[in-house]
Amino acid sequence: MIAPIHPDYVDRLAAIRRYDLGTSAHDGAFDGLVSLAAQICHCPIALVSIVHEDDQRFEARCGLDRESTPLNMAICSHAILQDEILEIPDTRLDMRTRDNPLVTDPDDPLLFYAGAQIVTKGGVSLGTLCVLDRRPRRLGDAERASLRILADQVMQRLELHEALRQQEAMRREVDHRVKNSLANVAAMTRMAARKAAPEARGALLAVERRINVMVELHEDLHRADDPDGPIELSDYLGRVAGHLQHISPPGVEIDAEFDPVALVGRRASALGVLLNEMISNSCKHAFEDGQSGRIVVRGRDLGDGRYLMSCKDDGIGAAAPDGKGGLGRHIMRASATQLDGELRLTPSADGYLAELEFPVSPV
């Protein structure tokens, strides 16, 4: 007997989609619960069954090979129509199940069913945590109470999954908005630089470059699956170098290559800022009076948890003046500190070399 259509039919299907049921999102998440239900209730079969529009699908199963059944075999579609646990001691004697193919199967009939509803906070029943047996029987009070508790545990895990999904969506939206806001600030800075006096124009363009480093980083954070974990940054570093190539002096080539490196957000930001300052410093100081040249940037995995970022130009060898240096060098030192790294600045007759060696985790 096929169960009547649930009165909350539309809300049920919407909730099933919202919790990503029927997808691979919950693979393995409920296996321990169905195994425990089978043991507590002394039944050979236990299922987390979600009643969909055209079938019932098992998010977890113990003792049954099927992954789903059509609705004419879905005893759970009857269970979701009531609030209390549905227990059918002998499925051959109940009008809802006596013609069910699972019951009438001559080789392996299922003769006992008990299902506790999986219900959202809004009162929408998604399916059941159910147990089945091949002989008629009844559950004891403790077994019924345990089945109810385990069904509630399924719902709590679904609610946690949804909360984490919403948190992730919010995080992506924040990163997207921050990126757009920074891009707007960079654009306004660039416009201001066009109208500024020559002595202010360079400073404004330097600010724009620093902002663009953050724009690129937030783009990667927006796409990251786990923004709190390490992010692989070789593409990001390549984009930073590529952006600087577009605004480098005529005739100056930037050659950049990076081994894979993974850092968490704050350290990733520090590395991007450092790279920006290294290249900008060479562009600003190494090539005078339209001199052409080359800036070679390398990121190398040294092994043993160490990474080396280097920037070598073939300019006049004065990329950083004597003394403590200007704002760019202060920013490089601050970035090196954030990365727990060692900054080395080496002028020579054939150019200027800036290096940072710092600890990393394996990619």
Contacting residues for 341 by C-beta, under 8 A, at least 6 apart: 356, 357, 358, 359
Q: Where in the chain do CATH 3.30.450.40 domains reside?
A: 9-162
Question: What pLDDT shows up at residue 200?
Answer: 76
Topology of the domain covering 229-359: Heat Shock Protein 90 (3.30.565)
Q: How far is Cα 44 from Cα 192, in angstroms, rounded to an integer?
A: 74
Q: Where in the chain do CATH 3.30.565.10 domains reside?
A: 229-359
φ and ψ at residue 119, rounded to 5 degrees: -125, 135
C-beta separation of 335 from 273 below 8 A: yes
Q: How far is Cα 309 from Cα 177, in angstroms, rounded to an integer?
A: 30
| pTM over the 0.75 mark | no
CATH architecture of 9-162: 2-Layer Sandwich (3.30)
Longest dimension (CA), the chain: 98
Q: How far is Cα 165 from Cα 35, in angstroms, rounded to an integer?
A: 27
Q: How far is Cα 113 from Cα 103, in angstroms, rounded to an integer?
A: 10
φ and ψ at residue 155, rounded to 5 degrees: -65, -40
Contacting residues for 217 by C-beta, under 8 A, at least 6 apart: 236, 265, 268, 269, 272
DSSP 34-83: HHHHHHHHT-SEEEEEEE-SSEEEEEEEES---SEEEGGG-THHHHTTSS
85, two tokens: 């646990």
C-beta separation of 130 from 69 below 8 A: no
* pLDDT tens for each residue of the chain, 363 residues long: 899 999 999 999 999 999 999 999 899 999 999 999 999 999 999 999 999 999 999 999 999 999 999 999 999 999 999 999 999 999 999 999 999 999 999 999 999 999 999 999 999 999 999 999 999 999 999 999 999 999 999 999 999 988 878 776 665 665 556 556 666 666 776 677 777 777 677 666 666 666 666 666 556 555 555 555 677 788 888 888 887 887 788 889 999 999 998 887 678 878 888 888 888 888 888 887 778 899 999 999 999 899 999 999 998 865 444 444 567 788 888 889 989 999 999 888 788 999 999 998 765
